[in-house]
Chains A and B, each alone.
Chain A
């Protein structure tokens, strides 16, 4: 039980460090210091870095070399991610595409389609988004209403998706639609890939309660797609979606915002560091966040030993998101009346506690709500029975719907 690389891992890390030392500095100096996320400049910088990684086999380390990958192991990928983050050259734009969408295309598309799409995605030339969630189906992803009707060799699609990350800058997407409302809901869906630049696709940013707009609504009005854009058989969309969703928890980001150190600094500043009630909570936050960090090390150990990581990785977001919310609120209370201020110019730590407070509800929901994650732990980790279902044997069109 220790925190050391194996000799092979240490050698790989040295190789990665050497490559990053040679390339990261050059990359950064060639680019303006653009740090505004989602800006065209920042995107261009990200694409250039992705292309550079692809050229060296670091873009998709665990993929086979024939598809532009590195032919490496999951622990190689973990090591690269650690070193890349330390070098300050990691970008978020390709995670969903390369982590979820393109693997789905690779699993279900014909060779021509794969040849067309995999390489540009690996190099960062084309970005993908995932179009599953709908206004009527959040946790119940299979409650898809967006409708596709066959018209010869084409399908005509109408409907709406929601909470689509990156839709505003994506070139392609994978889209889950209902093709047969007369059969039970899990049987009547089909998956397609679509061109996000088609005029029949409209992307509208969601004005979130946090004030910002990272997510989107996507509307389809008589969008026509070819039958050759279908991924998997007609009616097999749910099976295809499960392949995509298997990777989702790996793609959803962790918590952000102040940690116990942030609270400790604020408490010192306002003279509350000796507050015994606060100190007990700081101890609890430290223990939970350390537990989370150390649990990730256990996951990495499983990878390092060539094992599939166990269910321990499923606890992460439940702990992180709740702690983030709780800790942000404690920060506000420490600031007392000043906590009402949400102005980065005057509020302590540039209003980090306020902004975290307004983001935390989203993290508790995105990528599986607390409640769904607990169901997953109960059913898939502990082996408890699934819920009694009333939607298994009823035609989708006859299912009761609320708002």
Chain B
């Protein structure tokens, strides 16, 4: 089987316009999303996100970068959204951007009726609506056999836990069964019981949502809930991979900066091969993650048949790179890295949040190999 892309020269990078957009995003976040802003959420148990930053991001138009102009977005494309995601990851931004944009807006664009799109997308693009994506019900990955949430007569009952941004969201997209078949449902959360829970990454809040006969409107075809969830996860995986790449780069920058200024045994620790090789290892993993993320961006932007494989690879490489970079950044910082006051743990926490929020890498590896098996047998 000939891989068609091997035959070409390529245009496999951001365009100049996309690089400009990314540069502007970096400037905006440098000014509006300092470590102090992130810590404002981290250190206050009653704050689940930074409202001012969220408002600013909405004003920049980022929430609607990939939403068509007809629905109030900028109608740019998914590569532009990837560029924004990379910067949000770099800044470890404490806002419900992923839940609202990568999951809910993508789910509605993928499976929503014209009416649902017209109703929700403009509000998302304007920053008036925060969304959350609710699938998990307990430890372990949710399966058709384990799914307990039920819709009967258009009313949803069941408990979803944990739901990222579930405590602050206005609308949820929920995986539940209806007549014994899985479906995705849009549920407005006003009046629904929600409880904020302790998060491994307090800059990304989580909740338990208890639905007790909440009105639920099906999103997409009946019985397609798991297929749609996988399709949404594929799209989110690519975007999350860019956040992971941005976070991994930031960890490498921090580790380098610290190592260049820290003296031990009479010279900077950056001159010791044990440190140099560690940082080189981080660099290699980051580049593997970046290249796989770019392929995912191409597949997402063109809605290519390769998207499920490309998304899996982007997610696996991004999760591994960010985990490695975040833990070795702490190690490079030595004892200081283990303190609350040094920012290294913000990235360590976020690396786990991002690696789990669309399903664990373990599950994605199995998905990837299953797909390769089919591709290889064909």
CB within 8 Å of A: which B294-314 residues: 294-295, 297-298, 301-302, 312-313
Select B10's contact among A2, A312, A378, A387, beta carbons within 8 Å.
A2
Residue from the set A1, A295, A305, A379 with the largest chain B CB neighbour count within 10 Å: A1
**Contact residues in B for A315 (Cβ distance below 8 Å):** 283-284, 287-288
Given contacts A290-B295, A298-B12, contact A377 B280 (CB under 8 A): yes
Q: Determine if A319 and B288 form an interchain contact, defined as CB atoms under 8 angstroms apart.
A: yes
Q: Determine if A219 is an interface residue (Cβ-Cβ < 8 Å).
A: no
Given contacts A3-B5, A280-B362, A315-B288, contact A384 B279 (CB under 8 A): yes
Q: Determine if A382 is an interface residue (Cβ-Cβ < 8 Å).
A: yes
Q: Determine if A395 is an interface residue (Cβ-Cβ < 8 Å).
A: no
A-B contact count (CB 8 A): 177
How far is B294's CA from A302's CA once the two chains are assembled, in angstroms? Answer: 14
Q: Determine if B115 is an interface residue (Cβ-Cβ < 8 Å).
A: no
**Contact residues in A for B368 (Cβ distance below 8 Å):** 283, 286-287
Select B366's contact among A2, A82, A279, A287, beta carbons within 8 Å.
A279
Which of A4-12, A134-142, A175-183, A325-333 lies at the interface? Answer: A4-12
Q: Determine if A44 is an interface residue (Cβ-Cβ < 8 Å).
A: no
How far is B295's CA from A315's CA once the two chains are assembled, in angstroms? Answer: 18
Q: Determine if A2 and B298 form an interchain contact, defined as CB atoms under 8 angstroms apart.
A: yes
Q: Determine if B270 is an interface residue (Cβ-Cβ < 8 Å).
A: yes
Q: Determine if B11 and A377 form an interchain contact, defined as CB atoms under 8 angstroms apart.
A: no
CB distance from A76 to the nearest CB of B (A): 9
**Contact residues in A for B365 (Cβ distance below 8 Å):** 279-280, 283-284
Given contacts A286-B368, A291-B288, contact A75 B9 (CB under 8 A): yes
Select A286's contact among B283, B284, B297, B372, beta carbons within 8 Å.
B372
CB distance from A236 to the nearest CB of B (A): 28
Q: Determine if B281 is an interface residue (Cβ-Cβ < 8 Å).
A: yes
Closest to B302 in A: A2
Q: Determine if B267 is an interface residue (Cβ-Cβ < 8 Å).
A: yes
Q: Determine if A319 and B284 form an interchain contact, defined as CB atoms under 8 angstroms apart.
A: yes
Select B9's contact among A9, A280, A290, A298, beta carbons within 8 Å.
A9
Q: Determine if B276 and A5 form an interchain contact, defined as CB atoms under 8 angstroms apart.
A: no
Q: Determine if B69 is an interface residue (Cβ-Cβ < 8 Å).
A: no
Q: Determine if B15 is an interface residue (Cβ-Cβ < 8 Å).
A: yes
Q: Determine if A385 and B270 form an interchain contact, defined as CB atoms under 8 angstroms apart.
A: yes
How far is B228's CA from A352's CA once the two chains are assembled, in angstroms? Answer: 42
Q: Determine if B291 and A1 form an interchain contact, defined as CB atoms under 8 angstroms apart.
A: no
Q: Determine if B295 and A4 form an interchain contact, defined as CB atoms under 8 angstroms apart.
A: no
Residue from the set A3, A279, A294 with the largest chain B CB neighbour count within 10 Å: A294
Given contacts A290-B313, A291-B292, A388-B267, contact A377 B12 (CB under 8 A): no
Residue from the set A2, A264, A301, A381 with the largest chain B CB neighbour count within 10 Å: A2
Select A4's contact among B10, B271, B289, beta carbons within 8 Å.
B10
Q: Determine if B273 and A375 form an interchain contact, defined as CB atoms under 8 angstroms apart.
A: yes
Given contacts A4-B10, A315-B287, contact A284 B316 (CB under 8 A): yes
Q: Determine if A300 and B271 form an interchain contact, defined as CB atoms under 8 angstroms apart.
A: no
Q: Determine if A295 and B291 form an interchain contact, defined as CB atoms under 8 angstroms apart.
A: yes
How far is B312's CA from A377's CA once the two chains are assembled, in angstroms? Answer: 28
Interface residues on chain A, size class: 35 or more
Q: Determine if B46 is an interface residue (Cβ-Cβ < 8 Å).
A: no
CB distance from A265 to the nearest CB of B (A): 8
CB distance from B252 to the nearest CB of A (A): 8
Select B369's contact among A4, A283, A291, A382, beta carbons within 8 Å.
A283
CB distance from B259 to the nearest CB of A (A): 7
CB distance from A379 to the nearest CB of B (A): 7
Contact with B along A300-312 (1 / 0, CB 8 A): 1110110000001
Q: Determine if A264 and B373 form an interchain contact, defined as CB atoms under 8 angstroms apart.
A: yes
Q: Determine if A149 is an interface residue (Cβ-Cβ < 8 Å).
A: no
CB within 8 Å of B: which A360-398 residues: 371, 373-375, 377-379, 381-388
Q: Determine if B9 and A304 form an interchain contact, defined as CB atoms under 8 angstroms apart.
A: yes
How far is B8's CA from A297's CA once the two chains are assembled, in angstroms? Answer: 9
CB distance from A334 to the nearest CB of B (A): 15
Closest to B317 in A: A287
Contact with B along A264-288 (1 / 0, CB 8 A): 1100000001001001101110111
How far is B368's CA from A260's CA once the two chains are assembled, in angstroms? Answer: 12
Q: Determine if B148 is an interface residue (Cβ-Cβ < 8 Å).
A: no
Q: Chain A's interface: helix, strand, loop or mixed, by majority?
A: helix
Given contacts A283-B368, A384-B271, contact A297 B289 (CB under 8 A): no
Q: Determine if A251 is an interface residue (Cβ-Cβ < 8 Å).
A: no
**Contact residues in A for B317 (Cβ distance below 8 Å):** 287-288, 291
**Contact residues in A for B288 (Cβ distance below 8 Å):** 287-288, 291-292, 295, 315, 319
CB distance from A83 to the nearest CB of B (A): 9
**Contact residues in A for B271 (Cβ distance below 8 Å):** 384-388
Q: Determine if A294 and B366 form an interchain contact, defined as CB atoms under 8 angstroms apart.
A: no
**Contact residues in A for B27 (Cβ distance below 8 Å):** none
Q: Determine if A252 is an interface residue (Cβ-Cβ < 8 Å).
A: no
Q: Determine if B284 and A381 form an interchain contact, defined as CB atoms under 8 angstroms apart.
A: no
Q: Determine if A387 and B9 form an interchain contact, defined as CB atoms under 8 angstroms apart.
A: no
Residue from the set B7, B260, B276 with the largest chain A CB neighbour count within 10 Å: B276
Closest to B292 in A: A291
Q: Determine if B280 and A294 form an interchain contact, defined as CB atoms under 8 angstroms apart.
A: no
Q: Determine if A1 and B372 form an interchain contact, defined as CB atoms under 8 angstroms apart.
A: no
Select B372's contact among A2, A260, A385, beta carbons within 8 Å.
A260
Can you give 22 contacting A-B residue pairs, CB < 8 Å? Answer: A1-B13, A1-B294, A1-B298, A3-B4, A3-B298, A4-B11, A6-B11, A86-B7, A283-B369, A284-B365, A286-B368, A287-B316, A291-B287, A298-B12, A319-B288, A378-B279, A381-B283, A384-B259, A384-B271, A384-B276, A385-B268, A387-B271
Binding site for A on B (CB under 8 A): 4-15, 18, 79, 252, 256, 259-260, 267-268, 270-271, 273, 275-277, 279-281, 283-284, 287-292, 294-295, 297-298, 301-302, 312-313, 316-317, 320, 362, 364-366, 368-369, 372-373, 376
Known contacts A1-B297, A13-B9, A378-B279; 12 additional CB pairs below 8 A are: A1-B14, A1-B294, A1-B301, A2-B12, A3-B4, A3-B10, A79-B9, A260-B372, A279-B365, A291-B313, A374-B276, A388-B267
What are the nearest 3 A-B pairs in CB distance? Answer: A291-B288, A378-B276, A283-B365
